[in-house]
Amino acid sequence: MPAPTIRTQASANPAARIVGAGQDRPLREQDDYLLYRRNAAATLAEWGPPARHASMEFPTTLIKAVKGTRDLLPPSTEVWNRVEAAARAVFHAYNYHEIRTPILEETQLFARGVGAETDIVTKEMYTFEDRDGSSLTLRPENTASVIRAYIEHRLDQRPGVQKLYYIGPMFRRERPQKGRYRQFYQIGAEAIGSVSPVVDAEVIEMVVELLGRAGLAGFELLINSVGDHNCRPPYVELLRRELKGVAGSMCGDCQRRAETNPLRVLDCKVEADQPIIEKLPALVDHLCAECRAHFDAVKQSLDSRGIAYQVRPRLVRGLDYYMRTTFEVVHGGLGAQNSVLGGGRYDGLAESLGSKMAAPGIGFSIGEDRLVMSVESAQPAAPLELLIAPLGEPAMRQAALMAREYRRLGLSVELAEGKLKRLMELANKLGARFVLIVGEDEIAAGRYALKNMSTGEQESLADHEIAARLTAAARN
């Protein structure tokens, strides 16, 4: 697609228009930066650097990250990587394999897969019209995409239960608040192709292992069964009848949901509504025989695996395709408990996406932002093992060779330049465990001064002794 032809700058000429690529409209102030970027190369070629071109204006406002998004910076990114590495290791151990679906999907997928009436779909999606008129959406979650891919690529024909995991960004236009972002990250997994309660228990066990390996302690596992198309509709009717008498004294959301989606009344967090909700009938007491047996089997399997859980009858999901097992992990030392992850069985999802073949599955998604926040304080950043201080230009060549040798051993090594006093200060600020001094005398003698920054101890060692000393220290 050709870039729009730029006639002039918006700020310099109010009558300027942007034309080309199917567009013909007046230039707006915001176009300036875009135009500058698109034209920078051409401008430089024609007129030299932009600063020397009289009519080239740079944007005057400082550009910042989009509201509700954030930059992940070091050393925090180390924790993100460690959490993700722990997750991948656990997924590997349970024979899960990674799936990467596009961030862009047809809007229809989420309207049908997440539910047209949900807050996510009605209020929070980033939806836009593509140039060909089709409606696209930045994925607000990933289960619908995974099931779409499962159906599209006929993964049901592969052997065994399909066990897929994903790690990546999702997008929802929520009201920005602490710990909630419009671009947020999820670690999730789906086990597709089985209705067995043993699969449910294994998925839950994997979640518990994963959170522990990632460094989260003191979390609680909550489980429930939300029944199926057989026993849930009569329960919802019962709930609707019960609510008729009490909804009038509940919050506005509850009054509305009592009509539209009574199950979601059970979700309400309003303090004054809690005593009323406590007295409502529980779905877990109205399961049909099959759902009851399935739920009992899941609990027994968790018991035999030694996994602690609590049954929470109010743990429900408002969408029709959710069935039977549903679970949540909450965490929070003091006061409010935060949900770290939610999961459940969605045996009817494939059909609601228009698939003729069934794809019963169970999965979960972890809010990675919150998980990282919970474990971040407990884990110090990975240390810099060594700072090499070469004294002068000839020493730099030897120092570079030594740096590469130690880096190949997997050590984290910084090769710095400057006066020795400054380099020692830098080593302190970077938290380096050792400093290696490489000067011309050391090179001639083949022995180098290695300083342990925590003890202050300094030794004169040959190259191979240094490597052994560093790798031994890195293991501790």
| 374 vs 340: CA distance, rounded Å | 9
Fill in the per-residue mask, 372 to 411: x = in contact with Zn ion (CB under 5 A), - = not in contact. Answer: ----------------------------------------
Give yes or no for a contact between 224 and 294, defined as CB atoms under 8 angstroms apart.
no
Least Å distance, CB 470 to Zn ion, is 60
User: By CB under 5 A, is residue 4 in contact with Zn ion?
Assistant: no
Q: What gap in Å lies between CA 350 and CA 315, rounded to an integer? A: 23
438 touching Zn ion, by CB under 5 A: no
Stretch binding Zn ion (CB under 5 A), from 47-55, 83-91, 261-269, 372-380:
261-269
Stretch binding Zn ion (CB under 5 A), from 66-74, 152-160, 245-253, 385-393? 245-253
User: What's the angle, vertex CA 330, arms to CA 327 and CA 336, rounded to 5?
Assistant: 140
User: What would the DSSP string read from start to end of 90-104?
Assistant: HHHHTT-EE----SE
Q: By C-alpha distance, which of 169, 305, 366, 30 is closest to 18?
A: 30
Element (H, E) at 86: helix 76-93
Output the smallest distance, CB 259 to Zn ion, in A.
13
Closest approach of Cβ 348 to Zn ion, in Å?
Answer: 12
Our finding on whether 435 is near Zn ion (CB under 5 A) is no
Using the rule CB under 5 A, give the single segment among 97-105, 174-182, 289-297, 439-447 that binds Zn ion.
Answer: 289-297
Question: Min. distance of Cβ 183 from Zn ion in angstroms?
Answer: 30
Burial of 1 (0-12, 13-18, 19+ CB in 10 A): exposed
How many residues sit in the footprint of Zn ion (CB under 5 A)? 12
Q: Determine, following the binding rule CB under 5 A, whether residue 291 of this chain makes contact with Zn ion.
A: yes
User: Phi-psi bin for 218: left (phi > 0), alpha (psi -120 to 50), beta?
Assistant: left
Write down the least CB distance from residue 270 to Zn ion, Å: 4
Task: Using the structure block, give the residue that is written with the tokens 């006639």.
Answer: 7
Residue 25 CB contacts under 8 Å (≥ 6 apart), including other chains: 17, 18
Interaction of residue 227 with Zn ion, rule CB under 5 A: yes
Binding of Zn ion by 231 (CB under 5 A)? yes
Q: In the bound complex, what is the minimum distance in angstroms from residue 307's beta carbon to Zn ion?
A: 24
Euclidean distance between CA atoms 410 and 182, whole angstroms: 36
For residue 266, state whether it binds Zn ion (rule: CB under 5 A).
Answer: no
Residue in 103, 136, 288, 400 binding Zn ion, rule: CB under 5 A: 288
Candidates 230, 249, 274, 460; binder of Zn ion (CB under 5 A) is 230
Binds Zn ion (CB under 5 A): choice among 273, 328, 385, 442: 273
Longest dimension (CA), the chain: 92
Rounded to the nearest whole angstrom, what is the least distance from the CB of residue 281 to Zn ion in the complex?
A: 15
- Are 438 and 391 in contact, with CB atoms under 8 Å apart? yes
228 binding Zn ion? (CB under 5 A): yes
The number of beta carbons lying within 10 Å of the beta carbon of residue 26 is: 11
Nearer to Zn ion, 95 or 249 (CB): 249
Determine if 347 is a binding residue for Zn ion (CB under 5 A). no
Distance CA 56, CA 21 (A): 23
Nearer to Zn ion, 140 or 227 (CB): 227
Minimum separation from the CB atom of position 252 to Zn ion (A):
8
Binding of Zn ion by 12 (CB under 5 A): no
State how far Cα 427 lies from the chain centre.
Answer: 33
Cα gap 272→259, rounded to integer Å: 20
Interactions with Zn ion, residue window 47-86 (CB under 5 A): none
Strand, coil or helix: 324: strand
How far apart are CB 148 and Zn ion at their closest, in Å?
27
* 227 or 344: CB nearest Zn ion: 227
Share in percent of the chain as helix, strand, coil (round to 5): 45, 20, 35
Residue 413 in the binding site for Zn ion (CB under 5 A)? no
342 is an interface residue for Zn ion by CB under 5 A = no
Contact call for residues 387 and 426 (beta carbons, < 8 A): yes
What is the contact surface with Zn ion in residues (CB under 5 A)? 227-228, 230-231, 250-251, 254, 268, 270, 273, 288, 291
